[in-house]
Structure 1
Amino acid sequence: MATTSTVGQGAGIPSGWMPAKGASQAEIDALVTRVLAELRLDEKVAMMSGKGFFDALAEDDRIWGARPYRAGGGAERLGIPPLMFTDGPRGVTRVGSTCFPCTMARGATFDAALERRVGEVMGVEARAQDCNFSGAVCINLLRHPAWGRAQETYGEDPWHLGVMGAAMGTGIQAHNVIATVKHFALNSMENARFKVNVTADARAMHEVYLPHFKHCLDAGVATVMTAYNKVNGEFCGQSRALLTDVLRGEWGFEGFVHSDWVRGVHKVYGAAAGLDVENPEPLVFGEKLVAAVEAGTVEPEVIDQACRRILTTQFRFAALEDPLEGYSKDLIAQDSHRALAREVAEKCAVLLENDGTLPLRREKVRKLAVLGTLADMENTGDNGSSRVRTPYVITPLQGLRAMLGNEAVVYAGGEDIDAAKQVAADADAVVVVAGFTAKEEGEYIIGDIALGADGKPGRPSISKEPIGGDRLSLGLPEHQVALIRAAAASGKPVVVVLVAGSAVLVEEWREEAGAILMSFYAGMEGGHALASLLFGEVSPSGKLPFTVAREAGDYPFFDRDAEAIEYGRWHGYTKFDREEITPRYAFGHGLSYARFAYRGLMARVVDGAIEVSVAVRNDGDMAAEEVVQCYVGAPGVEAEQPAKLLRGFERVALAPGETKVVQLAVALESLRWRDPATHGWRLEGGDYRVLVGGASDTLIETRVTL
């Protein structure tokens, strides 16, 4: 059964303790048993943590991702290599990787097939950079748009999160890179993440905050990363309720669980609770865990079970044949990967409003004014653990100049409002780029809660200055609002392009703009994509993966410094529906340069699912893509349920005048509600509303009876 390890699995290490390519599960299980019988206690416990992270970060001048990180596994005496980790919500976090639009942007595509392709590229680039373990699948639910790391997840809806996360994870694993789904669980705020106690009742937990994790694991995502926060009084990394009762007991998960980086576990009993790996160093496990076993406070079986999970997962991937013959460095950021980054940037942009200003016509716009410092900035998002040091970034200004020519595009940063007014007045149309950077939102990196930066020797931070965190305001900064008004005062058509990771309130200035386009953090090719969108080479087709309110008070309560907070069942569109609040832009909203008509909606119950079909026609005069969304409303008699829940979506491309029939299937089990009395699931009988359309507030309806 012996073999020589391949690139990404411990390159070139000859070993009689690694599985052969093509090894069966029975052979892998037998090998794992042999390894466990051979290892000493200290070697097993060493497998349960990372190693060398702080030294590596210091040697690399605090550049996160400068090298792969040892993240558990490995037995040096036996020649078993450790797992080599890379982060990657928007690309492999190594120098030179392809930088895709942020995860929230990709959520706006509502395109699982596209997201799987992105995952496959990340798998290839991870392997080409000697990594075999990826933390790219972030599916924490967006409960409130102020959350600093909103950009790293897909949106506010659990079903959507599960589908998109599963696509990313299985795409990564297509190239035999182990994917992990994070952060388990109820992690939806940033500044207080190390201390906050999140309480939630059984229905909120199992219907809102956990189902997307189960969706990803059921799809085959192999591992789980725990969150920093507490849930119902216990830190996630040492919560038996989460890691054993739910994850292993109820869901039947057989992979391994590892902590987030630093402060992911606080007590050695975390191992007995179900945490298999402490990352990135043995600050709590290691010698303390060995001592606990020797003292009898942790059973030896706990260690064996953790190592069995780690080895079984690692060996299963090591035994698979690779799709490519090799993973050379020249695959990194190759032409096809950059082209995919541009395709995603084109498909994720959401056209929020348009009075006919867009698309701009090149024959009418001979001089274009571009305003705002963000237009001329490489701004791909968070500068924490998700940062990708990509070979280049096409800014909005560069993209527009590449299309129109340098002389046709005039630019003003906006620091001098009078100068910006003059630039706008001298142009035929104005584009204002507004929004945020990693300074205003992103992973919170500061002082004693940075990656080991607590003043102790050898624990460097990844930033000297405070960055990121939860947003203080949901609106644009005052100087950007002033710039939009200055552009409008020119009397020329004004397009506002929003760069952000989640919702931005627009009430203060929306009437000043002829069109509003949300581009999110659009990745390395964002500027080229923006030019294509603004000038009609491509129709916008993204849909909002969150609800944009008219007032901040319409969202759930949020305190970024909270010691404790309750997460209820109602947030996003379910809260707006329940309280009969009209949002500014509904979940799923997104305009197009085409017009789409829906008709012929039919639904029937067949073999444990509701089969839905609807005809969609492009009534516009240009080819475009539409995201067909299917919502289901339960009777809500046995127990209160949301008025409707997203339970299916599909992107469809239509030529002018073309009609396509879209078919979707909604599994009946996805319509069940959690009974807290029995700790089980119940499917209510009665009439169900089936609603289909291009946004959650523009739906046609039929009914089925269960």
Structure 2
Amino acid sequence: MQDEGVVATARHLIGYEQEHFRQVGEWEENGWDCLESAISSNIGDRAMHEIYLWPFADLVRAGVGSVMCSFNKVNNTYACQNSYLINYLLKEELGFQGFVLSDWGAQHSGVYSALAGLDMTMPGEISDEWLTGKSYWGPLLTRAVYNGTLSQDRLNDMAMRILAPFFSIDTISLPTEEDEPNFSSCTFHTYGQEFAYQHFGPIVQKNWHQDSRSEFSDITALSVARESIVLLKNDGHNLPIAKIDGVRRIFIAGIAAGPDPKGFNCKDKRCVDGVLTSGWGSSAVNDPFVITPYEAISKLAREQGMVVDYSNDAWELDHVQELADYADLSIVVVSADSGEGYIEVDENFGDRKNLSLWHNGDKLIETVAEKCRKTIVVVNSVGPVNMEKWIENENVVGVLYAPPLGQFVGQAIAEILFGVINPSGKLPFTIARKKQHYVPIIDELNGEKHPQDNFDRDIYLDYRFFDKHNIKPRFEFGFGLSYSKFKLCNLRIDEINSPTEYLPYPEEYLPIYKTVEDDVCDPEDALFPHDEFEAVPGYIYPYLYNENVRSIDDGETFEYPAGYNPDQPIAPPLSGGGLGGNPDLWQVYYNVSVEVKNEGKHKGGYVGQLYIELPSTIVPSPPKILRGFEKVFLEPGESAILSFSITHRDLSIWDTYSQQWIIQTGTYKIYVSNSSRKVDLSGEIDIGC
């Protein structure tokens, strides 16, 4: 993103694991009127570092320009005014140099959020006070500097952090007066009022209708869609579909095989009665077109001279049953959707209310499979679904998992089904047999005004939980079949550098060099402009009104929050000292390599997965932890080398007592696997005292 000149934002910091109860006002409208604060994600120190903060360390190290704090509380303090989270974990431990902005309406205080490390408020207004001009900052931030509750240094820091990406990233530059946006997110019309929501201002050009698509972007979108599809079942090798295998008549069934009757681009993607291209919510974007599964499957079938039947009826199933009875092979496309919490669809308030298929999907599959002995199920879903009612049905011979895949969703599905493309996707989550094996959503208050989500599974999430308790999943994390056969051999583990148990102390910070002089001037200079100034309704200005002008009196002091220190520390924490943390965390200690050969008849992609089993010298750890994956595409008979680097961080546990990353002594087992449960090759590393 930043190579294209756009500042990227990493989100959400942190523990934003569900939509239920994320904002008070939003849920009052949905009938939970006793809610007094957003849900608190209560995360332990080890899980915070080893699970939730881990990807943010990678993002900071990669140079991301901004980080967005989330709606929820973290350990009972709102994320956007959580000083430990923003000032310490993000800016000190991870050494983040860019700016922190709030999610839309996630700011809940003025001075305290500024002191806690929030640098930019979005969209500026107080939540549920849209277009009123009311803000926790705006003129109140100006007043806070004048009355001494917020230092000029902190204000300067906020401004410099916002500007930092524009000066530190070569591909990003500050916009000029000519660099006005050429589109509006509020309207598709070419012309409209300058301030549309306020119904204010002259008529101006709002959209220039520039086509941002390119051949490269289309190829990328199609490639991502193809590689995201996971083949879960292929009994009897009925896939890929071919007329020479006796398939002369196919039947395509299911609402998700076609378009929603309201179209593809209904407001915020609430159109769920058709194939899914994305979840719903404020960040959903419109598709330029959509190729549906029915459209793409029928096209490839017709090219082979097949007869194609189709029904999108999910409830009156007599006709479906009849068409399935005629078919040599049936394809049932089913779905389940979710999205952002402010939208409710059939009592799904953002999060799904259960793991069931939508639109009578289970009954549809059972009905078709009862009549057609070769039934293929395509699950077009935002996440795992319960498959237990039909997955072991002997007539369900094939299953694909296809997440919302954008405009090429149908083409990608059809190409996998007919073998134009060999499936290479792997599950990014475990599909369980029982509901209780998933982390539950907190969806009832039970009289609680301040809901609590205790992350009781700690570091044992997803496949780690299943491995720890020896639970057999339906399909494990990292699982995915291919039309080809791959063989791994020749595991090598080479030591690059000798491991050390502890990290070295990072260098001290450089002395403070003032680049901006304190320039707090007379409060009169910050007054609202003269009476002829035409203020835009609902616009947030930084100016003071006369009644807000008051400098701090002699002897008055502002009492900072407990534990807050406005002075810059001399040195970073032991875990810090560089972008993403202590630079030695990325020291490479070992290189693991394996040879993979395509022994099948189809060109295809193979994903090698590196798992490490840590010793339990100091604290217990999961049986296996994913520490890398590499994908390679091979022609039949072709071989390649997969290589994985193992760093200090990959071998470390977070020691909550000493507050540092530690490499334990003992034996580290190395697994190169086809999934979290299927180990192909293994080796060991011994790290002594």
For the criterion TM > 0.5, the same-fold answer is yes
Task: Tell me which amino acid in the other structure corresponds to 2:219.
Answer: A
Q: Does residue 1:382 correspond to 2:211, yes or no?
A: no
Alpha-carbon distance in 2 for matches of 1:466, 1:309: 42
> Corresponding residue for 1:403?
300
Alpha-carbon distance in 1 for matches of 2:171, 2:651: 38
Task: Tell me which amino acid in the other structure corresponds to 1:548.
Answer: I
> Corresponding residue for 2:627?
647
* Greater fraction of residues in helix: 1
> Corresponding residue for 1:430?
330
> Corresponding residue for 1:46?
none
Deviations 1:29-61, CA, capped at 9 Å, x for gaps: xxxxxxxxxxxxxxxxxxxxxxxxxxxxxxxxx
Q: Is the 8 A contact 2:325 2:372 kept in 1?
A: yes
| SS of alignment partner, residue 575 of structure 1 | helix
180 and 320 in structure 1: CA distance in 2 versus 1, 3 angstrom threshold: closer
Q: Of the candidates 356, 372, 375, which is equivalent to residue 491 of structure 1?
A: 372
| SS of alignment partner, residue 158 of structure 2 | helix
| SS of alignment partner, residue 410 of structure 1 | strand
Return 556-565 or 269-278, whichever deviates more.
556-565
Deviations 1:627-682, CA, capped at 9 Å, x for gaps: 00001111112111111111111001122222222111111222211111111111
Q: Of the candidates 222, 238, 242, which is equivalent to residue 342 of structure 1?
A: 222
Q: Is the 8 A contact 2:278 2:404 kept in 1?
A: yes
Q: Does residue 1:208 correspond to 2:51, yes or no?
A: yes
| SS of alignment partner, residue 363 of structure 2 | helix
Deviations 1:189-238, CA, capped at 9 Å, x for gaps: 11122311111121011111111111111011111000110011110101
| SS of alignment partner, residue 225 of structure 1 | strand
Deviations 1:305-324, CA, capped at 9 Å, x for gaps: 101111222344587589xx
Deviations 1:539-592, CA, capped at 9 Å, x for gaps: 110000111111111123432346101112221011111111111111100000
632 and 503 in structure 1: CA distance in 2 versus 1, 3 angstrom threshold: same
The aligned runs of 1:451-470 (5 Å cut-off) are 469-470=350-351
> Corresponding residue for 2:129?
none
Task: Tell me which amino acid in the other structure corresponds to 1:469.
Answer: G
Q: Of the candidates 605, 608, 618, which is equivalent to residue 598 of structure 2?
A: 618
671 and 230 in structure 1: CA distance in 2 versus 1, 3 angstrom threshold: same
Deviations 1:337-356, CA, capped at 9 Å, x for gaps: 22221111111100011102
Alpha-carbon distance in 1 for matches of 2:282, 2:173: 30
466 and 258 in structure 1: CA distance in 2 versus 1, 3 angstrom threshold: farther
> Corresponding residue for 1:183?
12
Q: Of the candidates 283, 286, 289, which is equivalent to residue 141 of structure 2?
A: 289
Q: Of the candidates 532, 543, 564, which is equivalent to residue 452 of structure 2?
A: 564
How many positions carry a matched residue from both structures? 513
The aligned runs of 1:522-601 (5 Å cut-off) are 522-561=405-444, 563-567=451-455, 568-601=458-491
Alpha-carbon distance in 2 for matches of 1:279, 1:491: 54
Q: Is the 8 A contact 1:181 1:216 kept in 2?
A: yes
> Corresponding residue for 1:445?
342
> Corresponding residue for 1:503?
384
Q: Of the candidates 229, 239, 248, which is equivalent to residue 366 of structure 1?
A: 248
| SS of alignment partner, residue 358 of structure 1 | coil
Alpha-carbon distance in 2 for matches of 1:370, 1:386: 31
Q: What's the Cα RMSD here?
A: 2.2
561 and 527 in structure 1: CA distance in 2 versus 1, 3 angstrom threshold: same
Q: Is the 8 A contact 2:42 2:74 kept in 1?
A: yes
Q: Does residue 1:312 correspond to 2:164, yes or no?
A: yes
Alpha-carbon distance in 2 for matches of 1:339, 1:358: 25
Alpha-carbon distance in 2 for matches of 1:289, 1:330: 38
671 and 193 in structure 1: CA distance in 2 versus 1, 3 angstrom threshold: farther
The aligned runs of 1:56-67 (5 Å cut-off) are none
Task: Tell me which amino acid in the other structure corresponds to 1:191.
Answer: H
Using structure 2 for the length normalisation, give the TM-score: 0.71
Q: Does residue 1:230 correspond to 2:73, yes or no?
A: yes
Shift of 1:293: 2.3
Task: Tell me which amino acid in the other structure corresponds to 1:397.
Answer: Y
Deviations 1:108-148, CA, capped at 9 Å, x for gaps: xxxxxxxxxxxxxxxxxxxxxxxxxxxxxxxxxxxxxxxxx
Alpha-carbon distance in 2 for matches of 1:318, 1:656: 43
> Corresponding residue for 2:311?
412
Shift of 1:476: 1.9
Alpha-carbon distance in 2 for matches of 1:319, 1:189: 35
Shift of 1:331: 5.2
Return 553-562 or 592-601, whichever deviates more.
553-562
Task: Tell me which amino acid in the other structure corresponds to 2:610.
Answer: C
Q: Is the 8 A contact 1:376 1:397 kept in 2?
A: yes
Deviations 1:491-511, CA, capped at 9 Å, x for gaps: 331000001111112111112
Shift of 1:266: 3.4
The aligned runs of 1:19-38 (5 Å cut-off) are none
Q: Does residue 1:393 correspond to 2:290, yes or no?
A: yes
Shift of 1:263: 3.0
Alpha-carbon distance in 2 for matches of 1:503, 1:347: 18
Return 277-286 or 517-526, whichever deviates more.
277-286
Alpha-carbon distance in 1 for matches of 2:591, 2:94: 26
Shift of 1:298: 1.8
466 and 484 in structure 1: CA distance in 2 versus 1, 3 angstrom threshold: closer
